Amino acid sequence: MSTTEKILIIGAGGQIGVELTESLSKIYGNKNIIPSDLKDTGIFTNNSFEKLDALDKNALFDIVKKHGVTQVYHLAALLSATGEQNPMFAWKLNMESLFHVLDLAKEKHISQIYWPSSIAAFGPTTPRQNTPQFTIMEPSTVYGISKQAGERWCEWYYNKFGVDARSLRYPGLIGWKSAPGGGTTDYAVHIFHEALKHKTYECFLSENTALPMMHMEDAIRATIEIMQAPADKIKIRGAYNLSGISFSPKEIAEEIKKHIPDFTITYKPDFRQAIAESWPQSINDKEAREHWSWKEKYDLPKLVENMLVNLKEKALV
Ligand code: NAD
Ligand code: AKB
């Protein structure tokens, strides 16, 4: 695809960034995608990687100028579990880095921003089943507070300055190409690795703790679709609810057992149990479906089969 876009991905070395870099590179060409992160792990051999601390506004500006960046996908953050362990730094990283990117757009150095929100923006007083787009939101984690505040700031920059920031409230994301980094939903990735390696998994959530989840391929597609949608289709300038699947540890374990009959799971809930219990169990995303035609492809059986086949075939376990 020929393009005038130059796309900077901040936090590209993380669970989403690795896959997003690959997908965007296929669409826009390697030379137009600039992955960046705190450290160069050497995985981005086809793109020109930039070492960048998202808190360093001057360094960010220099990279934007150097490459003529037009769009930023800003993924750097501390997630729910690590955020609770380092609350002040989580707030600083998650908020200040977002302001740096929003200000770049306000000052017209870049034209479009993607910044992810999360189901963590909801809280214990939110209706937990089929959670609607507009509802009570009183998040109880620092991570969730930063996501809710970030949503409001994206909307405010749009209303005041016309900043074209777009956002999705991702559920827990599950993929085989990259490892998760400090979330409450991470068990749903670890379980596959342990099932293939040891045929057993000790889960840090209790058996019936249902949460909204999604295959990474669906999440990447949703991300690119919302960014490519005509501006007039984006009627929500905070963040869109986004739904894929909903399941509990017990349900995913049962599905894994269909492929690995002697797989066993045990439960040892830790501090992440309280975080999970403060989040919705399932999400209503009718606005995303109506406004920009979102539709997921993966259900639970398809997701489980895809994870096991790919982890096994690529000998990633
Ligand atoms: P991750 O922890 O796997 O990756 C984050 C990346 O950011 C890491 O590579 C890390 O090195 C980098 N980073 C951290 N501090 C940085 C800094 N100061 N400057 C530059 N880079 C820095 O996270 P992820 O799962 O890929 O999540 C990306 C975004 O998506 C986050 O905003 C997260 O809140 C959101 N999100 C993720 C999920 C999920 O299930 N993965 C769900 C909801 C929302
Ligand atoms: C987490 O568990 O922190 C993330 C998320 C749902 O935001 N996966």
Q: How confident is the model at residue 118 (pLDDT cuts 50, 70, 90)?
A: very high
Atom of ligand 1 nearest to the CA of 55: 18
In the predicted model, is pLDDT for residue 185 greater than 60? Answer: yes
Catalytic residue among 28, 73, 114, 143: 143
Domains annotated for the chain, with CATH where assigned, are 7-172+214-241 (3.40.50.720), 174-213+245-281+298-314 (3.90.25.10)
Share of the chain above pLDDT 70, in %: 98
In the reported structure, the alpha carbon of residue 116 is separated from the centroid of ligand 1 by a whole-number distance in angstroms of 9
Q: Are strands 240-241 and 168-170 parallel, antiparallel or unpaired?
A: parallel
Q: What is the mean pLDDT of the chain?
A: 97
187 is catalytic: no
Please choose from 85, 146, 184 the residue to mutate so as to test ligand 2's pocket, defined by most ligand atoms within 8 A of CB.
184
pLDDT digits (tens, 9 = 90+) for 267-294: 999 999 999 999 999 999 999 999 999 9
Q: Is the CB of 38 under 6 A from ligand 1?
A: yes
Atom of ligand 1 nearest to the CA of 179: 3
In the reported structure, the alpha carbon of residue 164 is separated from the centroid of ligand 2 by a whole-number distance in angstroms of 24
In the predicted model, is pLDDT for residue 200 greater than 70? Answer: yes
What per-residue string of b and e applies to 239-264 under the rule 16 or more CB within 10 Å gives b? bbbbbbbbbbbbebbebbeebeeebe
Which residue type does 149 have?
A: A
pLDDT digits (tens, 9 = 90+) for 207-264: 999 999 999 999 999 999 999 999 999 999 999 999 999 999 999 999 999 999 999 9
- For residues 99-105, give the mean pLDDT: 98
Q: Is the CB of 283 under 6 A from ligand 2?
A: no
What per-residue string of b and e applies to 216-227 under the rule 16 or more CB within 10 Å gives b? bbbbbbbbbbbb
The two structure tokens encoding residue 53: 């601390």
- For residues 56-60, give the mean pLDDT: 98
In the predicted model, is pLDDT for residue 86 greater than 80? Answer: yes
- For residues 180-198, give the mean pLDDT: 96
On whether the pTM is more than 0.85, the answer is: yes
In the predicted model, is pLDDT for residue 315 greater than 80? Answer: no
- Cβ-Cβ contacts under 8 Å for 7 (sequence gap 6 or more): 24, 28, 32, 33, 34, 69, 70, 71, 72, 73
Please choose from 10, 37, 94, 143 the residue to mutate so as to test ligand 1's pocket, defined by most ligand atoms within 8 A of CB.
37
Which residue type does 54 have?
A: A
Start-end of H helices in the chain? 15-28, 57-67, 80-85, 87-106, 142-161, 187-198, 216-228, 249-257, 272-277, 286-292, 300-313
Share of the chain above pLDDT 90, in %: 96
pLDDT at 314: 78
